[in-house]
Structure 1
Amino acid sequence: RILSSYAKIVNEVLEKYVPRAVDENWLKDLFGEAEYRYELDALNKSIFEPFWDLADRGGKRWRPALMLMIYEAFGGDPREIAPLSVIPEVIHNGTLAVDDVEDGSEYRRGKPCIHRIYGEDIAINMGNTMYYLPLTVLRKLNLKPEKRLRILEEYVETMLKLSFGQAMDIAWHRGLVESVDEKQYLQMTLFKTGALAGFAAKLAAIIAEVPEEKARLAQRFAELIAVAFQIQDDVLNVVGDEAKYGKEIGGDITEGKRTLMVIHALRNLPPRDARRLREILDMRTDDRKLVGEAIELMKKAGSIEYAKQVSRSLAEKALENLKELIPEEERRRKLESLANFLITREY
């Protein structure tokens, strides 16, 4: 419920900056007069239609909501910075389209992935477009040049972290690295999932002109919540309710992902069981019996409970950061509610 009012604000501006279909005037505004002639149909069918197919499926919009809530907690009106909230949200949707191709995923938000409907070429190009398109918001806003520069610097660092995090994840599930430990997993997740949430928080801090120490606390709060969120997502992937979750249960096992639960299980199972778990992961199988066997091995090692515990512990650390950032209880209540929702959700 707490997300819905902020999601409404985000959805309103989203359509303004990423239209459902572009026309000649929109392109002129972006690039100027065509040197020859723009071809609108191709752009709409290969970029904007697939983007909105994904965006209309829902999604929690929690990254832009987090940004608006942090700005509000700093004493601002969230509607003042609503246009900037499209930046983390649009980038996030772009990464989903590309990640799903790279992971060979079947479903996203309860429907076939974008590449399964439109093709891999369209999904990748649409996703890549969404890494850059939302930055055009900066041209429309009356920001001081130094603020704009800071946002762009943070953006470049964020995009590098996203790519580096994804590189680690891919290398691990392709078996390019012999073994991975818990700290390496947390660093990967901090890059892959935490960076964009941290960027959203940093955007709010830059616009609110808070001291650097507060900006860093806001960023750290968002990053920790995002890592806790991702671990909860990994848990739901093996023990969630598929109807609520919107993705195939056990999909991470089929992809051979090295989640926190897998890392914990490989370290704590008897050698024979650990070998068997590794064997199933390396098969990249969608056989329900084998996927179920892998889940049972993780349960046997206590890995699912362990992951839930780590997620809770990270959320507690995040809330400690939040208390330091926003000492007044009333002003941080919404952020606390959001944090609690993200780590106890079932979808």
Structure 2
Amino acid sequence: MQFIKDYQQTVSKAIHEYTFTDKSDPLYEPINYITSQHGKRIRPMMVLMANEMFGGDHQKALKPAIGIEIFHNFTLVHDDIMDAAELRRNKPTVHTLYGLNVGILTGDALLLKSIKFFEDLEPDLYHSCLQVFIRSGLLLCEGQQLDINFQKEKQVSFDDYLKMITYKTGVLSAASFEIGALIAGADSAEAENISAFGKHLGIAFQMMDDYLDVFGKDQQIGKVHAGDIAENKKTVLYILARENATQEELERLDYWYATENQNKDKIQAVEQIFRRTKADERALLLIHKHTDIAKNHLDQIKVDDEKKKPLIELAHFLLKRES
């Protein structure tokens, strides 16, 4: 979609413009390394799209949008450290390239730098946007802690899983849309609806990622097939499978998820249980459910339908990977 490419180019150009060259300290080399990598730029795009939908000033929203992207990169740097990941976007992760201590400091500096990108907003608006930003950041940390806890827990309820992905994925999408709306002068009801649109879109997106990890084609997911099974992650497929599994199937799931075995036998066995319990079909229904909830919130916003079309197209872009 051309409009998405246009937004991505706008964000990438702005990030290049604000490359951190204010100090010669070696710390800024890894910061520029991670921010210059071309991710999808989805979250800053959400800020700009919401701002435009409500008739806001594009330039006024641009720096806060970059702030959201800088914050997102902070989470990636620290996530890679916690996951001991060696690659990010097919390039060495910051801590792999520069060392663990530099990786931690890089993430810390990115977090603080992200806040500075809101400083040009007038005081009341700055306060409102920072409230959303900080609240969302804290929830994201809570979601990451839940995800860490799940690795040690034998059973995870669907409600706990939903809370985890809402905090880890949904809240930052919600905050991005809400901040864009606030900068455009949207009222509280409109801001709440665009925030809810972002939250449920983020939930649907994460569930789709879980689904495609096992049932998607390699080109759809861009990573190793069934990596979540190999790493014993408690995804929506695992949780839904347990709800419908026989006693024998539960015992098999417990057996496989108690081992560090990553061979094909494990992946094939677990995938078969997912299919027999219809976890794949139920996951798709949940994805559609949260997509519909997101669209219902968008419908409640009192702007011309024409202005909503880019947001609908963005939702399709994020979820069209369904196999």
Q: Does structure 1 retain, via aligned residues, the 8 Å contact 2:27–2:106? A: no
Q: 1:338 to 1:174 in 2, by over 3 A?
A: same
Alignment of 1:196-207 (within 5 A): 196-207=172-183
Q: TM-score, normalised by structure 2?
A: 0.92
Q: Does 1:89 align with 2:69?
A: yes
Measure, in 1, the Cα distance between the counterparts of 2:102 and 2:25: 14
Q: 1:182 to 1:209 in 2, by over 3 A?
A: same
Partner in structure 1 of residue 115 of structure 2:
135
Q: Does structure 2 retain, via aligned residues, the 8 Å contact 1:262–1:298? A: yes
Alignment of 1:237-276 (within 5 A): 237-276=213-252
Q: Does 1:9 align with 2:3?
A: no
| Partner SS, residue 261 of structure 2 | coil
How big is the shift at 1:297?
1.8
What is the Cα-based RMSD across aligned positions, in Å? Answer: 2.1
Deviates more, 1:122-131 or 1:227-236: 122-131
Measure, in 2, the Cα distance between the counterparts of 1:236 and 1:150: 37
| Partner SS, residue 300 of structure 2 | helix
Q: 1:103 to 1:256 in 2, by over 3 A?
A: farther
Partner in structure 1 of residue 39 of structure 2:
59
Q: Does 1:151 align with 2:132?
A: no
Q: Does 1:72 align with 2:52?
A: yes
Q: Does 1:297 align with 2:273?
A: yes
Q: 1:266 to 1:103 in 2, by over 3 A?
A: farther
- Give, as a single letter, the amino acid of the residue that structure 1 aligns with 2:202: A
Measure, in 2, the Cα distance between the counterparts of 1:205 and 1:299: 42
Measure, in 2, the Cα distance between the counterparts of 1:106 and 1:252: 17
How big is the shift at 1:292?
2.9
How big is the shift at 1:212?
0.8
| Partner SS, residue 223 of structure 2 | coil
Partner in structure 2 of residue 99 of structure 1:
79
- Give, as a single letter, the amino acid of the residue that structure 2 aligns with 1:97: V
Q: Which runs of 5+ in 2 are unaligned?
A: none
Partner in structure 2 of residue 123 of structure 1:
103
Partner in structure 1 of residue 150 of structure 2:
172
| Partner SS, residue 156 of structure 2 | coil
Q: 1:24-73, CA deviations, whole angstroms, 9 ceiling, x for partnerless residues?
A: xx13xxxxxxxxxxxx3522444333x14xx42x3221111111111111
2:31 to 29, 47, 63: 47
How big is the shift at 1:124?
3.2
Measure, in 2, the Cα distance between the counterparts of 1:326 and 1:119: 50
Q: 1:107-147, CA deviations, whole angstroms, 9 ceiling, x for partnerless residues?
A: 433445444444443333323322221211123x2x22111
Measure, in 1, the Cα distance between the counterparts of 2:45 and 2:7: 5
How big is the shift at 1:226?
0.6
Q: Does structure 2 retain, via aligned residues, the 8 Å contact 1:9–1:79? A: no
Q: Does structure 2 retain, via aligned residues, the 8 Å contact 1:46–1:126? A: yes
Q: 1:175-203, CA deviations, whole angstroms, 9 ceiling, x for partnerless residues?
A: 2xx42221221111111101111111121
- Give, as a single letter, the amino acid of the residue that structure 1 aligns with 2:132: E
- Give, as a single letter, the amino acid of the residue that structure 1 aligns with 2:236: L
| Partner SS, residue 118 of structure 2 | helix
Q: 1:164 to 1:126 in 2, by over 3 A?
A: same
Partner in structure 2 of residue 37 of structure 1:
none
Deviates more, 1:238-247 or 1:194-203: 238-247
Q: 1:112 to 1:246 in 2, by over 3 A?
A: farther
Q: Which runs of 5+ in 1 are unaligned?
A: 28-39
Q: 1:216 to 1:203 in 2, by over 3 A?
A: same
Q: Does structure 1 retain, via aligned residues, the 8 Å contact 2:44–2:66? A: yes
Q: 1:304-340, CA deviations, whole angstroms, 9 ceiling, x for partnerless residues?
A: 2211211111011101100111452111011011111
Measure, in 1, the Cα distance between the counterparts of 2:117 and 2:103: 23
- Give, as a single letter, the amino acid of the residue that structure 2 aligns with 1:278: D
- Give, as a single letter, the amino acid of the residue that structure 2 aligns with 1:273: E
Measure, in 1, the Cα distance between the counterparts of 2:53 and 2:203: 22
| Partner SS, residue 325 of structure 1 | coil
Q: Does structure 1 retain, via aligned residues, the 8 Å contact 2:147–2:164? A: yes
Q: Percent identity?
A: 28
Q: 1:112 to 1:216 in 2, by over 3 A?
A: same
Q: Does structure 2 retain, via aligned residues, the 8 Å contact 1:94–1:127? A: yes
Deviates more, 1:75-84 or 1:228-237: 75-84
